[in-house]
Amino acid sequence: MIEPRSIKALVLTYDAYHPFVGHMIATYEARWPDHPFVFRVPFQQSAQELVERYGDLVEPVRTRSDIRGAVLDLTDGLDPDEWIYWCIDDKYLIDADLPRCKLAANWIVAQDDPDIACVSICRTHCLLRPTQVNLGIGQIGGPDGMVFLKRRSFGEIWLHQFARVKVIRQMFRAFPDRPFRAKEMDTFISTWGRRRPQEIPARWGLYVSRDNHCVFGESTTRGKITRNCRGSFETFGLPLPDFEFSDEHKILGARLGPPGQLVHRVYLDFVSLRSNAVARLFGQCTELGSPPTPGGVSTDAN
């Protein structure tokens, strides 16, 4: 079993977004209470508020201010094959199938095959597209009948997921050595034909669970706080950061009922999840918005 505080969670953030990091940590504490993560948080001026609130859950690391430099500084000195949890600051945990998440996490970090390099237990958006995963070819079996599909690109690399240090470090090392905006990173790994996408090295296997086990919320969109995130801040009693508000409601992942159901399998393997409205046509997609319910499913949407 994974020991508490045994996996470094590398957070992509900067000082102005630390309130979102605090909110993200609060959601993990509430919805995965015995999670194994210590959040390695970059800062330029101070991370004192996070340390005061969350104590040894936070490992502050002074880094360069540019995105590429910050990530390279965060990974500096770490073993390339070490498993970390990659978590960007504008995602937060809404719901988790904890028994399956724990099984998967224990299995992932026990892998001694260095070619198994990155594993997501949230299957959503482009990872639902048959063009982005190998169905049947190259899939690997996990614990208790779990199946992991091989991914064909870096698509959805911004989801929270397990990765070896070398994946994150090499990906960012390949990014332009200049200041850039976070949104530009999508073009660097684009799978939508705007430019040649960054290729996954042949020796690395990036995987995603065939069934979705986590639901995440997006905290911001175009620099504004999403409606779901605003409600979640209020639920946790956290002060809202000084950002404009958006009316958009952004949820990643859907709980579609028991994973053994055939319709669930067909849906996950062949349907592109474009919106929660589409998901409702195929099953019980729950937009889970707020109250912290350790080990269970939140029931009211924001």
Average pLDDT over residues 284-294: 33
Average pLDDT over residues 66-74: 97
Distance separating alpha carbons of residues 224 and 242, to the nearest angstrom: 10
Instruction: Cite the beta strand spans of 52-100 per DSSP E.
Output: 58-62, 83-88, 91-96
Q: Which residues are CB-contacts of 149 (< 8 A; sequence separation ≥ 6)?
A: 133, 134, 135, 138, 139, 207, 208, 209, 210
Q: Is 2 a residue whose pLDDT tops 90?
A: no
- Residue 81 inside a domain? The answer is yes
- Residue 298 inside a domain? The answer is no
- Residue 233 inside a domain? The answer is yes
- 3-state DSSP assignment of residue 59: strand
Cα dihedral sign, 221-285-86-51: positive
Note the pTM of the prediction, 2 decimals. Answer: 0.83
Q: Which residues are CB-contacts of 275 (< 8 A; sequence separation ≥ 6)?
A: none
Range of the domain at 65: 7-282
- Give the total number of structural domains in the chain: 1
- pLDDT for 164 equals 97
Under the banding of pLDDT at 50, 70 and 90, the label for residue 84 is very high
Residue found under tokens 């070619």: 115
Dihedral angle over CA of 58, 62, 63, 67, nearest 10: 40
Counting residues of the chain whose pLDDT is more than 70, the rounded percentage is 80
Q: In 3D, which of 185, 225, 191, 212 has the Cα closest to residue 90?
A: 225
Under the banding of pLDDT at 50, 70 and 90, the label for residue 134 is confident
Tokens of 29: 């504490």
- Residue 287 inside a domain? The answer is no
Under the banding of pLDDT at 50, 70 and 90, the label for residue 153 is confident
- Residue 53 inside a domain? The answer is yes
Q: Is 105 a residue whose pLDDT tops 50?
A: yes
Average pLDDT over residues 161-180: 94
At 121, which CATH number? 3.90.550
| 28-42, 73-87, 98-112, 178-192: least confident range | 178-192
Higher pLDDT, 29 or 186: 29
- Residue 245 inside a domain? The answer is yes
Average pLDDT over residues 34-55: 97
- Residue 296 inside a domain? The answer is no
Q: What is the mean pLDDT of the chain?
A: 84
Q: Is 298 a residue whose pLDDT tops 70?
A: no
- Residue 2 inside a domain? The answer is no
Q: Is 281 a residue whose pLDDT tops 60?
A: no
